[in-house]
Amino acid sequence: MAKHSVGWVASQKRWLLAFLVMLSVSTLIAFFIRAAFDSCDRNLDVVGKRVPLGSPIGTSPSPLSFMKSKLVLLVSHELSLSGGPLLLMELAFLLRSVGTEVCWVTIQKPGHIDEVTYSLENKMLDRGVQVLSEKGQEGTNIALKADLIVLNTAVAGKWMELDASLKENVPHLLPKVLWWIHEMRGHYFKLDYVKHLPAVAGSMIDSHVTAEYWKNRTRERLGIKMPETFVVHLGNSKELMEVAEDTVAKRVLREHVRESLGVRSEDLLFAIINSVSRGKGQDLFLRSFYESLRLVQEKKLQLPKMHAVVVGSDMTAHTKFESELRNFVKMKKIQDRVHFVNKTLTVAPYLAAIDVLVQNSQARGECFGRITIEAMAFQLPVLGTEAGGTTEIVVNGTTGFLHPVGKEGVTPLAKNIVNLATHVERRLTMGKRGYERVKERFLEHHMANRIAAVLKAVLQKSKSHSDA
Ligand X SMILES: *[C@@H]1O[C@H](CO)[C@@H](O)[C@H](O)[C@H]1NC(C)=O
- Tell which one of 396, 460, 464, 466 touches ligand X (CB under 6 A): 396
| Under rule CB under 6 A, residue 350 binds ligand X | no
For ligand X, what does the binding mask look like between residues 217 and 246, x meaning CB under 6 A?
A: ---x--------------------------
**Dist. CA 151–CA 77, nearest whole Å:** 8
User: What is the enclosing helix (H) or strand (E) of 15?
Assistant: helix 14-24
Q: Using the rule CB under 6 A, which residue among 92, 150, 402, 454 binds ligand X? A: 402
Question: Three-state SS for 282?
Answer: helix
Q: How many CA atoms lie within 13 A of 234 on its CB side?
A: 32
Least distance between ligand X and beta carbon 349 (Å): 13
Is there binding between residue 335 and ligand X (CB under 6 A)? no
Q: Half-sphere exposure of residue 428, counting CA atoms within 13 Å on the CB side? A: 3
Determine if 298 is a binding residue for ligand X (CB under 6 A).
Answer: no
Our finding on whether 21 is near ligand X (CB under 6 A) is no
User: 10 Å Cβ neighbour count for 317?
Assistant: 12
d(CA 83, CA 34): 9
Q: Tell me which of 69, 133, 323, 342 binds ligand X, using CB under 6 A.
A: 342
* Binds ligand X (CB under 6 A): choice among 104, 159, 285, 401: 401
Judged by beta carbon, residue 402 or residue 413, the one nearer ligand X is 402
User: Please, what is the minimum distance in Å from the beta carbon of residue 426 to ligand X?
Assistant: 10
Residue 317 C-beta: closest distance to ligand X, Å: 9
Of 54 and 431, CB closest to ligand X: 431
Residue choice 26, 59, 247, 297 for contact with ligand X (CB under 6 A): 26
The residues facing 273 across adjacent strands are: 311
Stretch binding ligand X (CB under 6 A), from 4-12, 58-66, 68-76, 393-401: 393-401
φ, ψ of residue 237 to 5 degrees: the values are -70, 160
- At residue 351, what is the residue type? L
Whether the CB-CB separation of 401 and 416 falls below 8 Å is answered with yes
Binding segment toward ligand X, per CB under 6 A, in 172-180, 297-305, 356-364, 396-404 = 396-404
Q: Which is nearer to ligand X, 221 or 463 (CB)?
A: 221
CB 418 within 8 A of CB 301: yes
| DSSP H helical ranges for 218-319 | 238-244, 247-261, 282-298
- 402 versus 451: smaller Cβ distance to ligand X: 402
Question: Do 418 and 295 contact (CB within 8 A), yes or no?
Answer: yes
Nearer to ligand X, 122 or 342 (CB): 342
User: Is residue 30 part of the contact set for ligand X (CB under 6 A)?
Assistant: no
AA letter at 219: R
**Sheet with 338-342, side-by-side order of all strands:** 338-342, 306-313, 268-273, 356-359, 382-385, 400-403
Using CB under 6 A as the criterion, which residues of the chain lie in contact with ligand X when the complex forms?
26, 216, 220, 315-316, 342, 386, 396-397, 401-402
